[in-house]
Amino acid sequence: MRNDRFHGRVEGTGHVCQAPGCEEPGEFRAPGARGPGFDGPGDYRWFCLDHVRQFNAGYDFFAGMTPEEILRAQSPIAGWERETRAFRPDAGIDAAPRWADFADPLEAIAQRARARRADHQKAAEAARRGISPDERKAYDALKLDYGADRRALRSRYSELVRKYHPDRNGGDRSHEARLQEVVEAYNLLKASALFA
């Protein structure tokens, strides 16, 4: 195969022009019925020079799009409206490290990697014990070990309610969100088969 002075010509493909009744070699590629997607580039049709010119003259990339979709597709930043996980400062892991806390930047990165590994190990342990993701969040909210029994659950709940309830800490209402989280976690675990 070699390219010619006509942009897009590919000689020696062995394709015949797909225009009805044309026997010329199909040397120019055009979009097919199935467009590009996650599973590949899509289908192509092969035409001779005259038929690819006809095809191109009638081709409308924006066919079937709403005016808003057309405007978005024409935007110079199409596809870049949001940060992808890799380009966010935290890379989608957690909060960015406080670089001032570390003498060596590599130690900050290593600490994040260790925390990530520990989180994966904890998730694997929860899955092994049959603990759902919601139940795992509840365990974390109560800072409860996965091996805790009903008595330990009740004891930790009482301890945290005393700590965060405004009636117990001099009317300080700044911990109401944390108290709500503790109550919801306790109610979820109390009704769970894990504590039956």
Where do the domains of the chain lie, and which CATH numbers do they carry?
Answer: 1-80 (no CATH), 82-128 (no CATH), 131-196 (1.10.287.110)
- Residues 170-180: what's their mean pLDDT? 82
Query: What secondary structure letter does DSSP report for 9?
Result: B
pLDDT tier, 100 (very low <50, low <70, confident <90, very high otherwise): confident
Lowest mean pLDDT among 11-15, 34-38, 83-87: 83-87
What letters, b where the CB count within 10 A reaches 16 and e where it falls short, cover 24-56? ebbbbbbeeeeeeeeeeeeebbbbbeebbeebe
CB count within 10 Å of CB 165 equals: 16
Beta bridge mates, 25:
16
- Residues 96-110: what's their mean pLDDT? 82
Per-range mean pLDDT, top range of 33-42, 86-95, 143-152: 143-152
pLDDT for residue 92 is more than 60: no
pLDDT for residue 169 is more than 80: no
The pLDDT tens digits for 57-86 are 888 888 888 998 888 888 877 666 666 655
pLDDT for residue 3 is more than 70: no
Q: What pLDDT shows up at residue 11?
A: 78
